[in-house]
Amino acid sequence: MNYNEEYILKLQQAFANRQGKYVKMYEAYNNKTKITQEYTESEFTTNNEVITSNFVNKLVQERVAYACGKPIIFKHIDNNENCIKSLEKNLRIQKKALFSDIFKHGEIAGTSYVMAYITDNGDTLKFKVVNAKHGIAYCDEEGNVELFLYFYKEELSDIQYMKIYTDEGIYDVTEDLKEHKPFKEYFFHKPPVIKHVIPDGKVGTIYNSCITLIDAMEKAISDYGNTNSDFRDCYFKIFGVNISDEDMERFKKLKAFILPNKDSDVDFLTKQANYEYCYNFIKLVEGLIYQATQAINSNESISANVSGTAILSRIINLRNRIQLHQQSLEDTIRGMLRVLFLFLKQRYNEDYDYLDLDIQMSINVPNDYSTIADIVSKLADRISDEDALSPFADIFPIGNGHKAVERKLQENILKANNESEIADISGVNLDKVGVGDETK
């Protein structure tokens, strides 16, 4: 799409309307939940401690570790080594955490963007992750970005500017669409931006799955923690004492009542909310959080006699969810490869097809490798060495099955050569080559 002011203004309005939701999502990730902003303070104490759990951050980081903890493997369907070498070289230019950053911001807000740009010398293409708080895209029915707005502020400035990515290039403008920097043309013919969306979008985020449960748990923990040092959850029963407003203010400060005679009395009128009640409630909410997100409580103790199969059955839903989210990341990476290969063709005349690459991602969760090895051994005469090694590519530093076969072949050749040399030496008569008994 070329520069279209009508669409740009509509995107600006949509961006402003949704900002509040995304800000809350990132605040929760940064441990700024509802209780840190709206916790009711007690007038009877200065001890109004807020206890947070940081569950959103914990669960997001766990998903990132499960999905991106193992290296992503790229294989060419026709074993084009030049293509793989060129790809690996260009990936080394990028941030090492590029793919995990894409995945992380997708898990936080349901959406993130990957923006490609050419460095000033024109020799390198780099990728930048843009979160949902700083960008918005207009996409076609296939999810391809037609128009992209990137909102940013310059260093030491509070003024917000906007970069508009169109088919013809980048417009750098102020919020009222006045030119801020000169127009920059590029050869991509489409905005070099890829939209990353997790399954179910915002609905599928950890925030939407459990934020109300987290708020309830943090309030319960904070209330119980403060109860030990103030009168937060109680009323007083007072007998034989006339108390004025002035006396009440003094009691609040002194934390003590002055009684006129021995027949007077002050006692608590409280709910029977003992430790066990609070503990059970907190554990109940915690369990619901793990159920809602299909996560596993790694701090929970497991019986020593639990089998590996039983443990794996507990994480089957987690594995399925991670695999679905990895598929979304694979779609995003494929879009990045399309832009990268277009750059390589224009700049270095290297012609590769991004559809010829197979993207393999492993899940960084426990796996029953013993069972897999047993199956492979039983099928040894029916499958290739490459297929046999591929399931173990995430635990051995072999890159992929094809590379492992080549490496093993080279090792076998080296061993054979060494054995041949040893055999040749063992057949030599040392007396004939001048080596005799040194004792003579």
pLDDT band at 434 (very low <50, low <70, confident <90, very high): low
Examine the pLDDT at 401 and tell me if it is beyond 60: no
Examine the pLDDT at 440 and tell me if it is beyond 50: no
The dihedral through the CA atoms of 353, 346, 189, 153 has a sign that is: positive
Examine the pLDDT at 421 and tell me if it is beyond 80: no
Q: Alpha-carbon distance 424 to 407, whole Å? A: 26
Backbone angles phi, psi at 344, to 5 degrees: -60, -35
Give the pLDDT confidence of 79-114 residue by residue, as tens digits.
Answer: 899 999 999 999 999 999 999 999 999 999 999 999
What's the pLDDT at 437?
Answer: 55
For range 365-388, the mean pLDDT:
78
Q: Report the run of H or E that residue 95 belongs to, with start and end.
A: none
Give the pLDDT confidence of 158-190 residue by residue, as tens digits.
Answer: 999 999 999 999 999 999 999 999 999 999 999
Q: Between 436 and 281, whose confidence is greater? A: 281
Q: At what angle do helices 206-227 and 98-109 cross, to 10 degrees?
A: 70
Taking CA atoms, 65 is separated from 26, 114, 140, 170, in Å, by: 19, 20, 32, 35
Q: Alpha-carbon distance 105 to 129, whole Å? A: 9
What's the pLDDT at 249?
Answer: 78
Examine the pLDDT at 432 and tell me if it is beyond 60: no
Taking CA atoms, 151 is separated from 79, 110, 169, 185, in Å, by: 41, 19, 16, 19
Which of 108-122, 214-228, 394-408 reaches the highest mean pLDDT?
Answer: 108-122
Examine the pLDDT at 218 and tell me if it is beyond 50: yes
pLDDT band at 425 (very low <50, low <70, confident <90, very high): low
For range 121-139, the mean pLDDT:
95
What's the pLDDT at 169?
Answer: 95
Q: Which of 59-68, 236-245, 346-355 has the lowest mean pLDDT?
A: 236-245
Amino acid at 407: R
Mean of the per-residue pLDDT values for the chain? Answer: 85
Give the pLDDT confidence of 311-334 residue by residue, as tens digits.
Answer: 677 788 888 899 999 999 999 999
Length in residues, the chain:
440
Question: What is the per-residue DSSP string for 185-240?
Answer: E-SSSS--EEEEE-TTGGGGSHHHHHHHHHHHHHHHHHHHHHHTTS-TTEEEEEES
